[in-house]
Amino acid sequence: MANVTIIPARRQVGNNVKQAEQPKLRIAAYCRVSTDSDEQETSYETQVSHYTEYIKSHSEWELAGIFADDGISGTNTKKRDEFNRMIDECMAGNIDMIITKSISRFARNTLDCLKYIRLLKDKNIAVWFEKESINTMDSKGEVLITIMASLAQQESQSLSQNVKLGLQYRYQQGKVQVNHNHFLGYTKDSDGHLVIDPEQAEVVKRIYREYLEGLSMKKIAEGLEQDGILTGAGKTKWYDSTINKILRNEKYMGDALLQKTVTTDFLTKKRVRNSGALPQYYVEDDHEAIIPKEIFMQVQAELVRRRKVHTGPNGQKRIYSGNNCFSQMVVCGECGELYRRVHWNNHGCKSIVWRCISRLEPSRAAMNCISRTVKEDLLQEVTVKAFNRILTDSDGFLRQMQENIAKAIMAADTMSPDGIQARLDELQKELIRKANSKQDYDAIADEIFTLRGQKSQAEADTRSREETRKRIAELQDFIGSQQSEITEFDESLVRKLIQQITVYDDHFTVRFKSGLEIDINE
C-alpha cells in the first residue's frame, strides 16, 4: 500500500493572502426590433438599457458590448450588421457568452439559428435565451432550440402570408405602391400619391425624345452623364439597362401594372418575374402622366423594331447596331440582305462604305451576290435628292399621301379596343362573383385571356394606323416648312422620315415612313 502523507489545511487570517483571481466572463447582449415605429423604438431602447444593467449586476461578468439591430427583419442575417459584427467578435475570441431576449430576436430562420449556435458552440461560446431559459451549452439545449426556432419560423411565415394577403387586397382596390425614392420623375405627396417632380420629369421626356430621334440607349446614357444629370437613385453613372427600364415603364404614361414580381421564398426574400403564377392588376390613369400615351406606344413600337432580328432570304438571323442612321435601313435589291457599314483602307486611303452582307460573308450567303459597294457619301447624296424630289413636286406627293390616309381609314378593324374592354369589364365582375362564391371560373378566365390578346392586337392595329397618319403628317409638315431645296445631309431627317433604301445596280429606291417611294438614278 502506498504511503500517504496528509498535509493539513492552514487557517488564513486577515487579508494578507490573496484569493485566487478568476477571470470574468465576457458577456455580450444582442437586441433587435422588427420595425422602426415609435412603439418598437421604445422596445429597442428598453432592451439596450435592460441588458446593460443586467450584465453589470453580476460581479463575475464583464460587459463585452451591446449589439443592437434596429428596424431590420429577422428572417435572415444578411442585412443585420450588428449581429454579424457580434459573430465576428466571437470568432476573434473577444466574447464568452451571448444573452438575448428570445429565439425570435436571435433569428426566425431555423437554419440560420442552428448554424450560428453550432458555430458558437464549437468555440465554447454559449447563447442564453432569457425568455425560454435555454442555455445552448446544456445537453438538452439544441433539442429545445430546434423546436423553438421552428415555431419562430412558422410565425414569420404566417406574418409573411398576412402581408401578401394585405398586398393582394390593395392591388384589387387599385392602390399603387411605388418606391418613389428611386423612381425618376416622381415623388409622393402627403397622402402617398405619386406626383410629378418637374425637374426630373424633363429628364424622362429627354430620354423618350432622344430615343425616338434615333439615339441608342448607350448614346442617351453617355449624354446624360456628360451633362451631369443624376439617376433616380442619385447616382452619376447611367447604364443602358437603366434607360431600357425607363423606356418600358408604363407608369410614365399614368398607368400601373401591379405584381410584376413575386416572392418565392419568404426567408431569402428572392423575387422573380410573375409569369402567371399569381394574378396581375393593371390600373389605368392612376396618376398624372409624364409621357403621353401615344408617345409611349411609339417608343414601345420602336423598341420592338430595334430588337427585331433581321432574317435574310436564306433564313440566316442577324442583329445589327442602330447607332448609325442607315443601320437596318439599306437593303440589297439583288439578294434581299441588309447592307453593313465597313471601314475600308485601300492602299492608305481610308473610306466608309456599305456592302451587302452576302458579299461580306459569302460562305453563309444563299446566292453569289454581285451587288455594288456604295460609299456612305453617295447614300447621303441619295437621301438629299429624295427630299428635294418631294419638295419639287409637292402637290403630286401631297395628293398621294391623302390617298394613303384614306386607305389607312378603310383598313380599320371592325372590333374596336373599347368594345373589347367593355366585354372584359363584364367578365371581370363575373369572375369576382364566382371566385367569392367558390364557383368554377375556368371558362371565364379562358375568355379573358383570349380577349386580352384580341385587345392587344386591336390596339396594335390602331397604333399602326395612327402611326401612318403621324408619319404622313410629319412629311406634310416638312413640305410645308421647307421653303427651299436641301443643300446638306441631315441625319435627323433621315431617322425621322425614311424607312428603307434599296440598292440596285443603276438606281436607289427610297421608301418613306409615310408610304411614298422615290427612285433616284445613281
Count of structural domains within the chain: 3
Indicate if 41 and 83 belong to the same structural domain: yes
Is the pLDDT at 171 greater than 50? The verdict is no
In a domain, 139, yes or no: yes
The answer to whether residues 42 and 136 belong to one domain is yes
At which of 303, 332, 348 does a domain end? 303
What pLDDT score does 17 carry?
45
Q: Are residues 101 and 138 in the same domain?
A: yes
Region at 37 (left for phi over 0; alpha for psi -120 to 50; beta for the rest) = beta
Q: What is the mean pLDDT of the segment spanning 137-151?
A: 67
pTM for the predicted model, two decimal places = 0.46
The verdict on 154 and 185 lying in the same domain is: no
* Cell matching residue 333: 435589291
Can you give the pLDDT at residue 87? 92
**Helix ranges (DSSP H) in 173-233:** 198-212, 217-226
pLDDT of 315-346, one tens digit each? 566 555 556 788 888 999 988 888 988 888 77
Task: Identify whether 231 is part of a domain.
Answer: yes
Asked whether 155 and 108 are in contact (CB, 8 A), the reply is: yes
Torsion of CA 213, 214, 219, 224, to 10 degrees: 20
CATH at 82: 3.40.50.1390
Domain presence at residue 250 = yes
153/197 same-domain check: no
87 and 218 together in one domain: no
CATH number, domain with residue 235: 3.90.1750.20
SS3 335: coil
- Residues 300-318 have a mean pLDDT of 66
Residue 53's Cβ-side half-sphere holds a number of Cα atoms within 13 Å equal to 6
Q: Which three cell numbers stand for residue 482?
A: 421647307
Q: Output 466 or 387, whichever has higher pLDDT.
A: 387
**Grid coordinates standing for 220?**
442617351
Tell whether 284 is covered by a domain: yes
Same domain, 296 and 185: yes
Q: Which of 303, 328, 360 is the last residue of a domain?
A: 303
Residues 388 and 515 in one domain: yes
**Does residue 264 surpass a pLDDT of 80?**
no
- Domain residue limits at 92: 25-158
Interval 429-483: pLDDT, tens: 777 676 666 677 677 777 777 777 777 777 777 776 777 777 777 888 888 788 7
Residue where one domain finishes, among candidates 303, 338, 359: 303
Residues 53 and 147 in one domain: yes
Q: How high is the mean pLDDT of the chain?
A: 76
Is residue 273 situated within a structural domain?
yes
Instruction: State the sign of the Cα–Cα–Cα–Cα dihedral 156, 158, 160, 166.
Output: negative
Verify that 249 and 383 share a domain, yes or no.
no
In 3D space, the residue among 326, 360, 353, 356 whose CA is nearest the CA of residue 338 turns out to be: 356
Q: Looking at the structure, tell me whether residues 295 and 389 fall in a common domain.
A: no
Within a domain: 218: yes
First-to-last alpha carbon distance for the chain, in angstroms, is 126
Q: Does some domain include residue 474? A: yes
Q: Band the pLDDT of 212: cuts 50, 70, 90.
A: confident
pLDDT digits (tens, 9 = 90+) for 62-115: 889 888 886 554 445 556 788 889 999 999 999 999 998 887 777 656 667 777
DSSP letter for 22, please.
Answer: P
Same domain, 189 and 296: yes
- The CA distance from 314 to 309, in Å, is 14
**Which of 28-37, 82-91, 272-281 bottoms out in mean pLDDT, i.e. has the lowest?**
272-281
Domain contains 151 = yes
